[in-house]
Structure 1
Amino acid sequence: MPELRIDPFPSAAELSALFSAAWGTPHNRDFTPILSRSLAHIGAYQDDRLVGFVNVAWDGGIHAFILDTSVHPEMRRQGIATRLVREATRVARERGAEWLHVDFEPHLTGFYRACGFRPTKAGLIKLV
């Protein structure tokens, strides 16, 4: 079972490789400035290889947001994403967040409900 690490600050190459594999599209971005402002981020490591990741962004107050939940396709269906989200929830609570939000596509409804999230009404404006 992969080891979970809190705030591991993976390299841009590690995150890009994971996101490219997990999302099926090329990614080449340095997330260091984003992660340095996050409430937390959790990495899942198998033999020192990043195989899963979740970021917890926040508003600087009581609201935190789950972003970028990713697991390498070779490692899926082993409970890694569930462990990542549960650890992110624990750490967010421990660090003072009172609300944890997540947006997701409809096919992920069952996953996020199993992680404890409940549906809410929300609004969205597409800016680009």
Structure 2
Amino acid sequence: MINLPIEPHEVPLLRELVGWDGRYSDYPALFERCNFWAGLRDDKNELIAFGYVAGMGLQHGYMEDIIVHPDHQRKGIGQALVKKLLQESDQVGLEIVTLTFDIKHQTFYTGCGFVPCSGGLWRKKV
């Protein structure tokens, strides 16, 4: 569901379940700054999938944080989430959506329609 109502603590908890840093300070500000997000809940109303697209909302958007709860992975939920975000991107007029991913996920993202390309990453030294 696009722009599913999500409590600020839910995405950080989901991030931690997949082994990522929770980034609790990013929420709820992220919901105010991204173009749109998508999420899915299970029959117990637990958030089991999340992802978003950010950018200026003009021609280009950036997809990030495609997360599926470990108990629900490999069931097609991630692919459905990405496809829903791409459909929404198309509906709002984005012509280009980029993302970065670990090489081990290349087959997943090419299966969703992404074409691998070169790029770069800058990260602040901690």
Same fold? TM cut 0.5: yes
Determine the structure 1 residue equivalent to 2:8: 12
CA 127–67 in structure 1, closer or farther in 2 if over 3 Å, else same:
same
Work out the CA distance in 2 between the residues paired with 1:58 and 1:6: 16
- Give, in whole Å, the separation in 1 of the partners of 2:74 and 2:120: 31
Residues 12-21 or 24-33, more deviating:
24-33
Q: Give 2:18's aligned residue.
A: 22
Matched, 1:65 2:89: no
Runs of 4+ in 1 over 4 A off after TM superposition: 24-27
* Equivalent residues in 2 for 1:1-128, closer than 5 Å: 5-23=1-19, 25-47=21-43, 48-128=45-125
Deviation of the 1:110 alpha carbon: 0.4
Offset at 1:60? 3.1
Instruction: State the Cα RMSD in Å.
Output: 1.5
Give 3-state SS (helix, strand or coil) of 1:84's partner.
Answer: helix
Q: Percent identity?
A: 27
Counterpart of 2:37, as a letter, is H
Q: TM-score when scaled to structure 1?
A: 0.88
Mapped partners of 1:30, 1:51: distance in 2: 19
CA contact (8 A) 2:52 2:63 kept: yes
What is the aligned length?
124
Q: Give, as a single letter, the amino acid of the residue that structure 2 aligns with 1:97.
A: L
- On the 8 A contact 1:61/1:97 being kept in 2, the answer is yes
How far did 1:28 drift? 2.8
What letter matches 1:10 in structure 2?
A: I
Unaligned residue ranges in structure 1 (runs of 5+)? none
Q: Distance in 2 between matches of 1:127 and 1:115?
A: 30
Contact conserved, 2:9 with 2:27, CA < 8 A, in 1?
no
The range that moved more, 36-45 or 22-31, is: 22-31
CA displacement at 1:8 relative to structure 2: 1.6
Give structure 2 stretches of 5+ with no counterpart.
none
Q: Is the partner of 1:43 in helix, strand or coil?
A: strand
